[in-house]
Structure 1
Amino acid sequence: MKSIKWNKLRILVTNKCNYQCPFCHNEGQEKGVKFSMMSFDSFKMLIDFLNDQQISEINFSGGEPFLHKEIVKMICYADQHMKCDISCATNLSLITDEQIDILKGTRVKFNIQFPFISEKEFSKSTGTGNLYNIIDKIKIIKKSGINIGLNTVIQSPDYLSIENIIRFALENDLPLKLLPQIGLKGSNQFVYNIRPMLEKNAVSFIDKGTGALKWIIQSGDHQTSVLYIDSPCFRRDIKTCRNYGEIRVLPDFKLQSCILKEANVQLNLDEGKVMLLINLKDYGTTSINAKGV
């Protein structure tokens, strides 16, 4: 059995979230459906089937993954049975000190949903989020030794707020990922205003060829990286999209190759490893996108 065509696996352990972000596409999951949680036993079976595959990263996501009571067990199981990178996209509002203490023994990296550095705007954007609570947890996680970075969805041409987030990331040596909101009018032009902000403190730059632009920025004793995701979704750029090589496994084990496409293939783990790999190989991002979005 040849290796599957994609190399990044995004596992959506739940479709439920305690935030109410207006820009959120919830990873493209169908809206208005009942809340669901991925079974831990099925998750273990999936990891056991994939532990010899050439996967570069497993990314836990949702919804908010820490609404899943067994998310720490899932991360630990992946850490013990997979050799790839492990990341977790979370708003960080629900994690406990006990969970942090367990996870510091793994190689997980947290990617934190961080829309604003203004208390008022942060609360307005998330609906229930508390900026200072999140900043405190970021400090605790950094002190624990867990790798952590910020993800900011750019929701408007309010470039001052973006400049403030860049400054916060730099002052705290936090990697930052900037993602223009998909579907927002004019968001495909944001890069032209944000690029000069980054270039004034840049010590290096690389176009990664995947729709991602990366700067290393520095000021005084502080240095960090900023990744700008110029999403191929804006242009229906299939060629660039293929470079992401990512597929999503939804809480009910349906497969989704793109947030703009419906999940219409159901994985049945009881059929065994060979059938699972055949289904994943046939539904890989490369093969799907080759036919068009």
Structure 2
Amino acid sequence: MLVDRFGRKIDSFRIAVTSRCNYQCIFCHREGMMNNPGNEALDAGDYGFLTEVAVKHGIKSFKLTGGEPLVRSDIVDIVREIATYTRDVSMTTNGSLLLEKAGLLAEAGLNRINVSIHSLKPPVYRFITRGSTLLEKVLKGVDEALNHGIKVKIDFVVMKVNIDEVKNIVEYASGKGLDVNIIELIPLGTPQDVYRDQHVIVDPVIEFLEKNSIAKTVREFQSRPEYIMPSGIKVDVVKGYGNPALCSRCTRLRLTPEGWIKTCLFIDKPIVDISRELKNRDEKGVINGIKRAVYLREPFFKPG
């Protein structure tokens, strides 16, 4: 098992397979790669080899993200390669291409997916995504994923423009048996004027959940408060900025599209380049790079 200098075990990889996206959301942080070109240097076999090596050292969970991962023409192959070595392969997506690809992804081994639905009101959805008119298609994509046995979770970034929809999102999710992440807007990647105009603290959301839930727990991963609703769904509150409690239980490494390891979302500069080792199928080189990144990890937000 990999453990960093702060006693945090490392058991998951968040893999940005592309920086390309067919949306232009007002708060996109590009997985903390704001100043990196995001060249897609790795192919499906490279991701499979990374997984093969990483699982030998206790990394169990692999989440594909972007950009929008579904814009990659080989995304099904990437999922299939990763799923060869782990049963826990998941994805974050805006859902715009899910209707066409859900069946193929399920067949390849994808078992969980986070779909970003930041509003159920078409005008608000268009405002947040800066022009997208695909909300109805996204909702159909959610149903298609469920029909193919993929577990779906909704990601909802709460802002002034949509905070009045929290109840509706929870009701929508409850009706379909979907868990929800309610995420506080962070300044990373968000233009200052947008952050100033749209940021809200999540206290009113927490009050709503405290009042309407039947139980509350705290997840081990990132110390996330988790509320159990009467329908049985779970709603996590994610406060990613200025939150030492979250950092103290972060168990994740990140990989950029170029094949660099990042140790934290908020650190813009990648730390360790393992692209050549992946291409050369150099197992020792890959694990040495992973261990180097683990050693360099530290909580971005610290108590006090």
Pairwise same-fold verdict (TM > 0.5): yes
How many Å apart are 1:126 and its aligned residue? 1.1
Check whether the contact 1:23–1:155 (CA below 8 A) recurs between aligned residues: no
Identity %: 19
Secondary structure in 1 matching 2:297: helix
User: Which is worse superposed, 166-175 or 52-61?
Assistant: 166-175
Match of 1:263 in 2: 270
Match of 1:243 in 2: 249
How many Å apart are 1:292 and its aligned residue? 7.4
Amino acid at match of 1:147: K
d(CA) in 2 for partners of 1:208, 1:50: 24
d(CA) in 1 for partners of 2:79, 2:251: 21
Asked if residue 277 in structure 1 is aligned to residue 271 in structure 2, the reply is: no
Match of 1:154 in 2: 158
How many Å apart are 1:96 and its aligned residue? 4.6
Q: 1:37 to 1:162 in 2, by over 3 A?
A: farther
How many Å apart are 1:122 and its aligned residue? 0.6
Check whether the contact 2:153–2:178 (CA below 8 A) recurs between aligned residues: yes
How many Å apart are 1:46 and its aligned residue? 1.6
TM-score (norm 2): 0.84
Q: 1:199 to 1:213 in 2, by over 3 A?
A: same
Match of 1:126 in 2: 129
Q: 1:119 to 1:188 in 2, by over 3 A?
A: closer
Match of 1:100 in 2: 102
Match of 2:18 in 1: 14
Secondary structure in 2 matching 1:103: helix
Asked if residue 228 in structure 1 is aligned to residue 237 in structure 2, the reply is: yes
How many Å apart are 1:185 and its aligned residue? 5.4
Q: 1:263 to 1:32 in 2, by over 3 A?
A: closer
Alignment counterpart, residue 192 of structure 1, candidates 195, 203, 219: 203
How many Å apart are 1:3 and its aligned residue? 4.0
Check whether the contact 2:47–2:81 (CA below 8 A) recurs between aligned residues: no
Residues 50-88 of structure 1, C-alpha deviations (whole Å, 9 max, x = no match): 2322113100001000111111111122112224x2210
- Runs of 5+ unmatched residues, structure 1: none
Q: 1:9 to 1:141 in 2, by over 3 A?
A: same
Alignment counterpart, residue 30 of structure 2, candidates 26, 31, 40: 26
Residues 95-116 of structure 1, C-alpha deviations (whole Å, 9 max, x = no match): 354x322333425201001111
d(CA) in 2 for partners of 1:39, 1:192: 43
Residues 243-266 of structure 1, C-alpha deviations (whole Å, 9 max, x = no match): 111111111101111122111321
User: Which is worse superposed, 154-163 or 274-283?
Assistant: 154-163
Q: 1:290 to 1:178 in 2, by over 3 A?
A: closer
RMSD (CA atoms): 2.5
Q: 1:242 to 1:278 in 2, by over 3 A?
A: farther
Check whether the contact 1:12–1:250 (CA below 8 A) recurs between aligned residues: yes
Q: 1:107 to 1:65 in 2, by over 3 A?
A: closer
Q: 1:118 to 1:37 in 2, by over 3 A?
A: farther
Q: 1:208 to 1:189 in 2, by over 3 A?
A: farther
Q: 1:291 to 1:93 in 2, by over 3 A?
A: closer
Match of 1:47 in 2: 51
d(CA) in 2 for partners of 1:224, 1:34: 36
Secondary structure in 2 matching 1:121: helix
Match of 2:147 in 1: 143
Secondary structure in 2 matching 1:63: coil
- Runs of 5+ unmatched residues, structure 2: 5-9, 188-194
Secondary structure in 1 matching 2:59: coil
TM-score (norm 1): 0.87
Amino acid at match of 1:42: D
